[in-house]
Amino acid sequence: MPDPYSDNTDEELNTAKQVDLANVGALNREQLTPEAATAPRGQDHPPTDTVDHHNESADVHAGHSHDGLDGHDHGPAGEWPYLWPAVSLVLLLGGLALDYFDVPFFVGLVRPLWYGVAFLLVGWKVLRAAAVSLPTGNVFNEFLLMSLATLGAFAIGEYPEGVAVMLFYTVGELFQDAAVNRAKRSIRALLEIQATEVTVLRNGQSLVVDPKQVQLEDLMEVRPGEKVALDGLLEGASVSFNTAALTGESAPQTKQPGDMVLAGMINLDTLARVRVTAAFADTKLSRILAMVQDAVGRKAKTQQFITRFAKIYTPIVVLLAVLLVLVPIVVVDDYVFRDWLYRALVFLVISCPCALVISIPLGYFGGIGAASKNGILFKGSNFLDVMREIDTVVMDKTGTLTEGVFAVREVVAAPGTEAAELLRLAGALETKSTHPIAKAVVQHAQPTAAAIAAVESVEEIAGHGLRGQVAGRTMLAGNTKLLRKFGVTYPAEVDAVVDSIVVLALDGQYVGYLTVADAPKVDAARAVQELRADGITKLVMLSGDKDSIVQRVAAELGITEAHGGLLPEDKARYVQQYLDAGRKLAFVGDGVNDAPVVALADVGIAMGGLGSDATIETADVVIQTDHPSKIATARRIARATHTVVWQNIWLAFLVKGVVLALGAGGLATMWEAVFADVGVALLAILNAVRIQRMKF
């Protein structure tokens, strides 16, 4: 809800505040603080209209704006927020006791003044918010409903009930605020992993500066225990980093010189020097935070429906309350104005749509928060709904289901050649190439400095491989085309090898080969099993790799449909065929070539660790840990969120419908009305908070 404690209530009633995503560099923890919410236009963080994924304006529904990180803290800060409600409760209970025992002095003006003080302690800010909303045209909000109902109760002498309604409403709002803050906490915690200062070396001096002031190619120093402020390449010695804030994984990662180090990682052991490669606004961390900030402004269809419903429903019940007072004048013989006015006031209290407009966005917000704690970023609550509905998952191979890193799987030496010697020579020669397969061979062989020094006259033949002198002998290392080019014969079975292959020859004689392959991720097979068990009826692998390799990996993982040798447009064609057949489809990828297909799918899922920036920005869901098993986890979170949201909807409609009917018939008092409004809202909020505690 807009904060009745704020001096900017008028603005909050009409504007959903959200960070301007065009200025990602300004994204920091201050933008989720009360100060950011109340900053006037023209300061560092101007409020802007929230726009959802489909360029629809995100309305403030019936006076609420719980569907986004709207910038203001939900609850009074500084003083204990329950102080004045507690004083009001004491006065209310004292007044009821004085009424019960017919204390002589509690008559005349004393009684209304006593209850009036109790009322104003909890109600004056609501009354003020209602008054401020009138000139804006946003008349039918909960502030006005509560003000009319409680002031009406005072007008007919029902002082205790008027105080009780406002008191329980205020306490309900405080509980609601606590629930919203709890739901925010897991997302807001992301902001705490951004470093607020960084040490850079310039002109031989060590300077501590703001990360936004660091330039590309600056050299950062990160001491043990400090957070890395910006993305860059590690220089000097190897360093271990805690990456849990980015990936959710507790195991530390050891980075070697030349490896990429990302903002948000924490240095664990020794002084690290990192050469900056990305400005503050362009780090992966800033992009992730921008995604999270954007996510809460994108409404699910259920939220959009409830928003529209509340804007129609509230004025209708106000009109019905007025008719409930006026119509009986002409149809009831023993009409008593006070009785029918009381019924109308009960009707108004019951009609407040708090339970719906608070708990439903809070439920989706809880789902996004639960996903972020599990290393999954939903870029909007709408994708929680779609993720639950998918029946087809199409996945890329390299980097998605496999590690995306080549490794030597097998060394096959020809008769008369030792495998160890073959590997030593091949490793030495491949040090002269930057090809990924060559790097895999070198990594596996780990050649000595002496062996590398013995390599001379190396020639790289494009599309074939390497030719050079190793320890005085002419060596060939490449594909079979290289051997045929130089007239070297080799066994026919070599052509039947499925994996990528490095064929070797010494002095014109075939001496063996190495197989190099990309291994499946440790949880890839489990991901396939969990998706099948979760109701996914069609699983497909699409890859640009050789079809023979794709089919082997698919067989290992239990995927029955796989296609290899595909260009990006071929992948898009397959996906479009499935969509045309009526499939609800998610595509999972990581490379730049996957970005068009990710955009085409109903839900695009990107691997956020190894994935390209283009794919991550295009995707609707980002898996930070690069674990494909998280796809099934995302489905479970989406289903749990949907269940909780609809439980709240039915609870609110059922209870309010029953009590509205009783109120119109004169069978419900203000006390039942309080339960139908505040009580149901609290039950719905507690139910929504459950998502944060669920284990997925």
Active site residues: 396
| Helix ranges, 197-296 (H) | 244-247, 284-295
Q: Which of 484, 525, 530 is nearest to 508 (CA)?
A: 484
Sign of the alpha-carbon dihedral angle for 319, 320, 321, 322? positive
Tokens encoding 53? 């994924």
What's the one-letter identity of residue 410? E
Q: What are the angstrom distances between the C-alpha of 647 and each of 308, 507, 634, 687?
A: 19, 76, 20, 8
Tokens encoding 317? 């019940």
Compute the chain's Rg from CA coordinates: 33
Q: Which residue has the tokens 């050789």?
A: 546
Q: What are the angstrom distances between the C-alpha of 340 and each of 96, 152, 161, 427, 672?
A: 24, 12, 16, 93, 17
Pairing of strands 538-542, 561-563: parallel
Residue 405, classed as helix, strand or coil, is strand
d(Cα 642, Cα 366) in Å, to the nearest integer?
11
Count the helix, strand and coil residues of the chain and give each as a percent rounded to the nearest 5: 50, 15, 30
What's the one-letter identity of residue 133? S
Residue 18, classed as helix, strand or coil, is coil
Q: Which of 351, 457, 471 is nearest to 421 (CA)?
A: 471
Name the CA dihedral angle for 252, 256, 260, 266, rounded to a multiple of 10 degrees.
Answer: 30
Taking CA 406 as the corner, what is the angle to CA 402 and CA 408, rounded to the nearest 5 degrees? 120
What's the one-letter identity of residue 115? Y
d(Cα 355, Cα 376) in Å, to the nearest integer?
28
Residue 62 φ/ψ region, left for φ over 0, alpha for ψ in the -120 to 50 degree band, beta for the rest = left
d(Cα 488, Cα 27) in Å, to the nearest integer?
61
Q: What are the angstrom distances between the C-alpha of 171 and each of 300, 363, 457, 668?
A: 29, 20, 82, 22
d(Cα 237, Cα 224) in Å, to the nearest integer?
14
H or E segment and range at residue 131: helix 110-133
